Amino acid sequence: MRGKKRETKLSDAQIQSHWDDAADRLLREGHLTRIDGRCPIFYRNNLRFPLYRYTHKQRAEDFFKEGKLRLTPLLNYRKIENFNEAIGDKGEGQTNFVTTKFSYPVGYSVSIRNQLTICLSEDRNDATMMKEFDADCCFRVNSLDFFVSINKQIEDRCDSCLIDRVAYIPASDWAVNLDNHPSGGPLFAGLFKREKHAYQKEVRSLWEVKGYSQVVPAIQASRPLRPN
């Protein structure tokens, strides 16, 4: 939506209500599937495998040999001084919405604070992605088991896990208009990036943490995947 920027920041309770409304809508329309458990997983039905994780060789070896995997707070990527333009984003995790259909202000802002993430790509494009992400290694994720295994290790610390594609919006659009939003379109604040990043074809897993932790330790994955 183009126009004058005007948004109201939601309270924590309203943000949770927004997440619940979005999840219920996508489940009801048949776009998400829920895996029940202590930390339920919501994933996009038409998610395509394999997915690709660009990283450093040492981190890949830690994962495959020892099952160690580090989950990063999404808000860390706002620290643009620590990352290049392909990775850092000062608006990461914050999305403005416009709607007249729900019990929120007409224009409102959702800023997530306590989500951990792993970012992958639907596209194997080593020539571009290795350079852009300062990576020297890529491993393949063959199935949903990758996320289920991680989820088992942190289910006591998280309320839910969402696995979905990132949506890319033009820089001129300051808000996502939910009144005109296409059926099945992403509705979560942590899944929007600027259009200039569309080549990344990113898929994110987002874990909603109970409380907030600035420092996230390496997490043991119970089922290391087979290397590419």
Contacts of 42 (CB under 8 A, 6+ apart): 23, 26, 27, 32, 33, 34, 35, 160, 161, 162, 163, 164
What is the DSSP pairing of strand 115-121 with strand 72-73?
A: antiparallel
| Per-residue confidence (pLDDT) for residue 93, from 0 to 100 | 66
Whole-model pTM?
0.84
What are 35's two structure tokens? Answer: 């895996």
pLDDT in single tens digits along all 228 residues of the chain:
344 445 577 777 777 777 788 888 889 999 999 999 999 999 999 999 999 999 999 999 988 888 888 888 887 766 654 555 656 566 666 788 887 776 666 777 777 767 888 999 999 999 999 998 889 999 999 999 999 999 998 899 888 999 999 988 887 777 888 777 777 877 788 888 888 889 999 999 999 888 654 444 444 444 444 433
Q: How far apart are the first and last CA of the chain?
A: 42
